[in-house]
Structure 1
Amino acid sequence: MSTITDSPAEVDADQVREAQEHYWVNEWTDGLPVVPVTESLLQDFLATTTRAPDEVLFRIAHLNRDMTVRLAAINAALAGCRPEYFPVVVAAWEAIAKEPHPARGIWQSTTGTAPFLVLNGPAREQLGVNSRGNIYGSGHRANATIGRAIRLGCINVFGLRPHKLDQATQGNPSKYSALIGENEEQSPWPGLHTESGFEASDSVVTAFVIRSVLHIEARHTMTPEQLALDFVDSICRTGALIHEYTSALLVLVPEHAQLFADAGWSKDDLREFVFAHARRSRDELAAVGKDALSHKTRWRLSAVHPDSMPDTASGTDAPDDVALLSDPSSVQIVVAGADNAGVSSVVEIFTLNPPRQNPFSNSKVEAG
């Protein structure tokens, strides 16, 4: 690894340290070092888009704060993005603006939610976005810095700093950065973006609100029903049940996706199976104090709580068999990761229940 003295231009290490301290003291970082932003660097980012610098990409009304193109560029540069990444950052903010929860303050929640982005299309390969192994981990600049650009925007534009406007009780690692690419090349199904009417050749960012990632070890079966029930059990664990219904993004490794496809299952077949089997008994819910709903919030609580009301299942022919998904579209499916082991994941996400007609929040990346 080269030392700083090997650089073509001489760099004053003390000035670098001073700049980092300046950004830290002003609370412009996520706790990690950032790239100091000069006007010339900012112009390199703005030159990659036709958008006006003062165009608003996303607004949080109750904070009276706007994410403009210029502010998005500043935070992308701070995050360590290359200028050519910036159109993806712009599309990410536009996708976030279509997701109903962030504008309502979900990122300030004690639940510890965060943005989670999926990139489809040619931009993945063009920018080096990782979709094939260690997708939630380190080692890929585009994944790390594009996701981090969103987090720094949350901090610097919207003031979502821990112990202040960000009230997360514990949070989760995606509060630093969370962007993955879909492994379209090894997927047996069309890409996520095509389900919203985009062409396969379009580059598209889809935004979710994430609570956690739960890994599923499933190397034991070649029977699609058994594998699907493993996912069902993980989605329906009682600790995940906050509201009357839950939601999930299934991130399948290629070999799990291929197992379903080889059995003739489509994405919709998998969704329908999960929806049909995502149920718990009333006794199981009562055992953990989640067998009723709050009048005020419709969050799950005990039937003996003074604020309780019956859940939707109580008025059906099978009141003791409680459905935990409101609709098959409460389950979304992406193929990502390596094909070296049967390890997929359930990403716990917030969606509207019942979901709107188009459950996706996405935006096309502006062509370079």
Structure 2
Amino acid sequence: MSTTALDQVAAPEVDADRIREAMEYYWAKEWTDGLPVVPVTESYLNQFLAVVDRDPEEVLFTITHLNRHLTVRLAAINAALAGCLPEYFPVVLAAWEAIAKEPHPARGIWQSTTGTAPFLVVNGPIRNEIDLNSQGNIFGSGFRANATIGRAIRLGCINVFGLHPHKLDQATQGTPAKYSACIAENEEESPWPALHTEYGFDASDSVVTAYVIRSVMHIEARHTMEPEQLALDFVDSICRTGALIHEYTSALLVIVPEHAQVFASAGWSKDDLRDYVFEHAVRRRSELVAVGKDALSHKTRWRLSSEHPDSMPDTASTTTDEPDVVRVLSHRSSIQIMVAGANNAGVSAVVEIFTLNPPRENPFSYSQIGA
């Protein structure tokens, strides 16, 4: 909408000064993420609680070492503050339930100097019902559902668990995902089954999957129609030494429809791509020595130099043919694959995610919406 058009829109009959006073009051109470929040009344809160059949005092998620608990009511308050519509609240609720199954947040990783953040992927019919963006600019702005659902989680982190920067949140640099990180899968333009069906759900189910992420790296690959070449571009980004914090790393491949069709046209399934990435995601041990990451810490099991007094040998498996070559992925399930983005260019992404190493049988956390 142009500035001229904005000037012609009739403003609702409200007291703008009172709204600003409420916003400043919320800011003074540190109930925001730095951006203005929506003032919440009891009657407006009740609209959120009315769309779910849950006890408002039911505890959804606990961080034990902080002795703080998030209830359905508190989740609704923060969803309203974030700018969600009431019809988004079942997604927010399922997101918190998925997060509660993820082992890392409860252990304090959201407070980490590493700067991690929650990241949500939504599948199923709910995407279209509430206009969740799964196509162009998925990691960007412009869609209320994506922006506010992700923000509802961040505000819950701040307002319920006290994760304010420079205080309990000790991120050295952080990530833009600390504002909001919620995308939907572009199931309509994917040649493969949707992400949530790999967990045993039906395609008609609506599901939220929760991850802990560090960064999103874009892969520019407009140059090839060879699946092996394209897959090696993903491998190279996964294997960068800066990603090797622990013994192994993990990745969510967010593949645009154009790239997905390159693989599918060559007869590759998701599992074919996953197997290829797993087999080729390796580094020579001499390369790990060069950056001081050829061993593990006794205390943290983070990578460090074998010359460090706290070091112990890593147990990273080697390839059969070349014993000096070390795998950087512990298991094929350390690689997740989904399709999202516009079908207009060869630009995909590798999302760096945290998983248990070695992973459990199903290392990811998800919850069915409305179940």
Bucket of the pairwise TM-score, normalised by the shorter protein: over 0.9
Separation in 1, partners of 2:263, 2:346: 13
**Secondary structure of 2:208 counterpart:** strand
Q: Deviations over 1:288-315 (max 9, x none)?
A: 1111111111111111111111111488
Q: Distance in 2 between matches of 1:144 and 1:283?
A: 43
Answer whether contact 2:355 2:364 (CA < 8 A) is retained: no
Q: Report whether the alignment pairs 1:108 with 2:116.
A: no
- Check the 8 A contact 1:196/1:360 in 2, yes or no: no
1:142 aligned to which of 139, 142, 145: 145
2:162 corresponds to 1:183 = no
Contact 1:313–1:319 (CA under 8 A) maintained in structure 2:
no
Residue 11 (structure 1) shift? 1.4
Identity of aligned residues (%): 79
What residue in structure 2 maps to residue 354 of structure 1? 358
CA contact (8 A) 1:116 1:210 kept: yes
SS in 1 for 2:283: strand
Does 2:333 correspond to 1:329?
yes
Partner residue, 2:34: 31
Pairwise CA distance, 1:360: 2.2
Residue 347 of structure 1: SS of its match in structure 2? Answer: strand
How far apart in 2 are the matches of 1:55 and 1:215?
40
Contact map agreement 2:63 2:107 (CA 8 A) in 1: yes
CA distance in 1, matches of 2:244, 2:289: 12
Structure 2 spans left out of the alignment, 5+ residues: none
Give the whole-Å Cα distance in 2 for the aligned partners of 1:261 and 1:314.
30
Which secondary structure does the structure 2 equivalent of 1:226 belong to? Answer: helix
**RMSD across aligned positions (CA):** 1.5
Contact 2:248/2:316 (CA < 8 Å) preserved in 1? no
Is structure 2 residue 17 aligned with structure 1 residue 17? no
Distance 1:297 1:53 in 2: 39
Query: How many Å separate the matches in 2 of 1:341 and 1:242?
Result: 32
What TM-score does the superposition give when structure 1 sets the normalisation length? 0.97
Moved over 6 A (4+): 314-317
Selected match of 2:166 from 157, 163, 166: 163
* Alignment-mate amino acid for residue 213 of structure 1: V
The structural deviation recorded for 1:287 is 0.9
Alignment size in residue pairs: 366
Q: TM-score under structure 2 normalisation?
A: 0.96
Structure 1: where are the runs of 5+ without partners? none
* Match in the other structure for 1:345: 349
Q: What is the CA distance between 1:7 and its match in structure 2?
A: 3.2
Q: SS of the counterpart of 1:312?
A: coil
Distance 2:6 2:258 in 1: 40
The answer to whether structure 1 residue 197 and structure 2 residue 176 are counterparts is no
Helix, strand or coil at the partner of 1:168: coil
- Match of 1:216, SS? strand
Change (3 A) 1:21 1:5: farther
Q: CA deviation at 1:355?
A: 1.0
Question: d(CA) in 1 for partners of 2:200 and 2:301?
Answer: 33
| 1:4 and 1:11 in contact (8 A); partners too | no
Matched to 2:248, the amino acid is: Y
Distance 1:2 1:366 in 2: 38
Change (3 A) 1:315 1:295: farther
The 3 A distance-change label for structure 1 pair 314 and 89 is: closer
Change (3 A) 1:263 1:42: same
Shift of the 131–67 alpha-carbon distance from structure 1 to 2, 3 Å rule, reads same
